[in-house]
Amino acid sequence: MSDAVNFDALDVAAQAEVVVVGGGPGGLCAAVAAAEEGADTLLVERYGFLGGMATAGLVNPFMTWHAGGRPIIRGLFERILDRLDAEGGWSGPRQGSAFDAELLKLVADDLCREAGVRLRLHTLLAAVDATDGRVRRIATAGKSGLQAVAGEIFVDGTGDGDLAAWAGADVRLGRDEDGLSQPMTLCFRMLGVNLDAIPPRAEVSALYDAARERGEIDNPRENVLFFFTTHDHEVHFNTTRIVKRDATDAEEMTEAELEARRQVRQMVRFLIAEVPGFEGAWLQEMAPQIGVRESRRVMGDYVLTTEDVLAARKFDDGIARGSYAVDIHNPAGTGTVIKRLPPGEAYDIPYRCLTPAGFDNLLIAARCVSCDHGAHSSLRVMPIVMAIGEAAGVAAQMALAAGDVRGIDVAALRARLVERGASIYGLSRDE
Ligand SMILES: Cc1cc2nc3c(=O)[nH]c(=O)nc-3n(C[C@H](O)[C@H](O)[C@H](O)COP(=O)(O)OP(=O)(O)OC[C@H]3O[C@@H](n4cnc5c(N)ncnc54)[C@H](O)[C@@H]3O)c2cc1C
């Protein structure tokens, strides 16, 4: 990838101590944390707003951040919830933890501005210049053309691991047996719904089965997945299913978007015609981009396994925690496999999952941390990714002194995360 670009011919458009690429839940929290810790931080994002799947993918709600009734993800995630709540943009945990994506964009802007994060929006990472285990520069593409950005520590928050992959890191795509990733889903919302008239979920799914049998719907998903939102008369659907597509390939992403929109049209016609409560409803919005559950995973100094997750394993270098189930939507078609942790338990994500093997100045702050396909299906949810991001940001600032992400004192990182309000197993007051 770096060979395709003559970096020396590019203007250096920006330079920072910490360069975070990708402003989704992980990258946003990494950038804010790094800046709050005192690093001169630049956040590069391809869209004109932050939030990643939470905004551009219209993904909702926040999946669980509790174990045994206690919160196991706090810190920046909790601060984001508080800010959303203060603006009326969060339903609270008892109503399923729905949040308002538009307000999240504003909260993300505020957090960056207050922390002093320098933003570079409408800027796509296009290539990476890496030699001898160090990322030297990145090339970006956007309205200003091709430009270079220089930094000391680089943080990959792209979700897909673009930065790490193009730097030459060891990456895996999808499950081991055939390389297939979890399906993509284009989320959409219906407005003008009479919520009180919607039948129980099983009844909606029975109507859906009948429509599938009649050949009116050819979505391979086994049922209709929908959620209520922070607004009246509105229903959120996470129910299209696009299988066997590679989210790191532009042509396949194009096919996926087109196929997903076709499925949305079928679903909307079905809902209005068949499901009580939707008679007067309309398609309010399809997400700006199709939702990507899984793509690359970047192999690091430790690979978190499905067994680690299901055994709720703890690690001396744990920097974030998760309690969400192993949740694998069939990469090849119908069906979803869910395996839960023991009740009340949570697992640790070790710092070593954030450090790509063979790179000194690169950290991962996204769902693409080092893990297997099953562990990824658990840690990918937004609260966990935010906790990973916060840890990556603090670690990036600490790594500036040595210029090496392995040169930091991990015990000090964990202690600092606790001081910031994060929940770390064995250290936090609420443990
Ligand atoms: C359909 C679907 C349903 C889901 N349901 C839930 C749910 O109910 N609850 C839950 O908590 N989680 C859910 N998830 C998981 C969750 O949304 C994601 O795993 C999470 O958002 C990952 O965060 P991230 O920061 O790693 O990546 P993303 O959210 O993907 O953010 C990556 C960011 O990087 C930017 N970027 C990417 N490539 C580049 C590049 N080359 N240059 C510049 N910028 C780039 C993107 O624009 C984006 O802003 C769901 C996911 C999907 C797809």
Give the separation between CA 86 and CA 90, rounded to whole angstroms. 8
- Cβ count within 10 A of residue 411: 11
- Match 């395996």 to its residue by tokens: 339
Task: Report whether residue 322 contacts ligand 1, using a CB cutoff of 6 Å.
Answer: no
Residue pair 116/41 in contact (Cβ under 8 Å)? The answer is yes
Instruction: Using the atom order of ligand 1, give the atom closest to the CA of residue 324.
Output: 11
Protein residue with least CA distance to atom 53, ligand 1: 291
**Which of left, alpha, beta for 75 (phi over 0: left; psi -120 to 50: alpha)?**
left
Give the separation between CA 144 and CA 177, rounded to whole angstroms. 42
The pLDDT score that the predictor gives to residue 140 is 98
**171 pLDDT band (50/70/90 cuts)?**
very high
Give the separation between CA 421 and CA 77, rounded to whole angstroms. 10
Give the max Cα distance, the chain.
65
296 CA → ligand 1 middle, Å? 12
> Residue 173 has which token pair?
């795509």
Rounded to an integer, the average pLDDT of 258-282 is 98
294 CA → ligand 1 middle, Å? 9
Task: Report whether residue 159 contacts ligand 1, using a CB cutoff of 6 Å.
Answer: yes
Give the separation between CA 387 and CA 369, rounded to whole angstroms. 12
Beta-carbon contacts of 350 under 8 Å, excluding residues fewer than 6 positions away, are 302, 304, 315, 317, 318, 319
57 CA → ligand 1 middle, Å? 7
How far from 317 is each of 106, 352, 416, 420, CA to CA, in Å?
Answer: 33, 7, 13, 17
Does residue 94 carry a pLDDT above 70?
no
DSSP letters for 52-103:
GGGTTS---SPPP-EETTEES--HHHHHHHHHHHHTT-B--GGGT--B-HHH
Residue pair 249/337 in contact (Cβ under 8 Å)? The answer is no
Task: Report whether residue 291 contacts ligand 1, using a CB cutoff of 6 Å.
Answer: yes
Task: Report whether residue 139 contacts ligand 1, using a CB cutoff of 6 Å.
Answer: no
Q: What is the CA radius of gyration of the chain?
A: 21
> Residue 220 has which token pair?
């391979």
Instruction: Using the atom order of ligand 1, give the atom closest to the CA of residue 389.
Output: 25
DSSP letters for 270-312:
HHHHHSTT-TT-EEEEE-SS-B----EEE-BSS-B-HHHHHTT
In percent, the amount of the chain with pLDDT more than 90 equals: 97
Give the separation between CA 205 and CA 225, rounded to whole angstroms. 9
Residue pair 146/12 in contact (Cβ under 8 Å)? The answer is no
The pLDDT score that the predictor gives to residue 87 is 95
Q: Which of 1, 19, 53, 76 to mutate to test the pocket of ligand 1 (most atoms within 8 A of CB)?
A: 53
Of 158, 149, 153, 157, which is closest to residue 134 (Cα–Cα)?
153
Rounded to an integer, the average pLDDT of 187-207 is 97
- Burial class of residue 357 in the structure, from the number of CB atoms within 10 Å of its CB (0-12 exposed, 13-18 middle, 19+ buried): middle
Does residue 254 carry a pLDDT above 80?
yes
- Match 């744990």 to its residue by tokens: 318
Task: Report whether residue 78 contacts ligand 1, using a CB cutoff of 6 Å.
Answer: no
Q: Which of 156, 353, 381, 390 to mutate to test the pocket of ligand 1 (most atoms within 8 A of CB)?
A: 381
Q: Which of 65, 327, 380, 390 to mutate to test the pocket of ligand 1 (most atoms within 8 A of CB)?
A: 380
Does residue 76 carry a pLDDT above 90?
yes
* pLDDT tens per residue across span 17-62: 999 999 999 999 999 999 999 999 999 999 999 999 999 999 999 9
Give the DSSP H/E element, type plus range, for residue 237: strand 234-237
H helix runs in 118-240, sequence order: 162-167, 201-213
Protein residue with least CA distance to atom 12, ligand 1: 381
Instruction: Using the atom order of ligand 1, give the atom closest to the CA of residue 186.
Output: 1
* pLDDT tens per residue across span 305-350: 999 999 999 999 999 999 999 999 999 999 999 999 999 999 999 9
The pLDDT score that the predictor gives to residue 95 is 64
Protein residue with least CA distance to atom 23, ligand 1: 25
> Residue 203 has which token pair?
């009844």
User: What φ, ψ does residue 75 adopt, rounded to 5°?
Assistant: 55, -135
* pLDDT tens per residue across span 298-312: 999 999 999 999 999
Q: Which of 5, 147, 149, 158 to mutate to test the pocket of ligand 1 (most atoms within 8 A of CB)?
A: 158
Strand partners, 283: 190
272 CA → ligand 1 middle, Å? 30
Rounded to an integer, the average pLDDT of 212-241 is 96
3-state secondary structure of 427: coil
364 CA → ligand 1 middle, Å? 14
The pLDDT score that the predictor gives to residue 96 is 76
The pLDDT score that the predictor gives to residue 1 is 54
- Whether the pTM exceeds 0.95: the reply is yes
Of residues 2 and 10, which shows the higher confidence score?
A: 10
Instruction: Using the atom order of ligand 1, give the atom closest to the CA of residue 140.
Output: 42
Give the separation between CA 194 and CA 325, rounded to whole angstroms. 32
Give the separation between CA 170 and CA 297, rounded to whole angstroms. 9
* pLDDT tens per residue across span 113-147: 999 999 999 999 999 999 999 999 999 999 999 99
Angle at 80 between CA 94 and CA 313, to 5 degrees: 75
Instruction: Using the atom order of ligand 1, give the atom closest to the CA of residue 289.
Output: 47
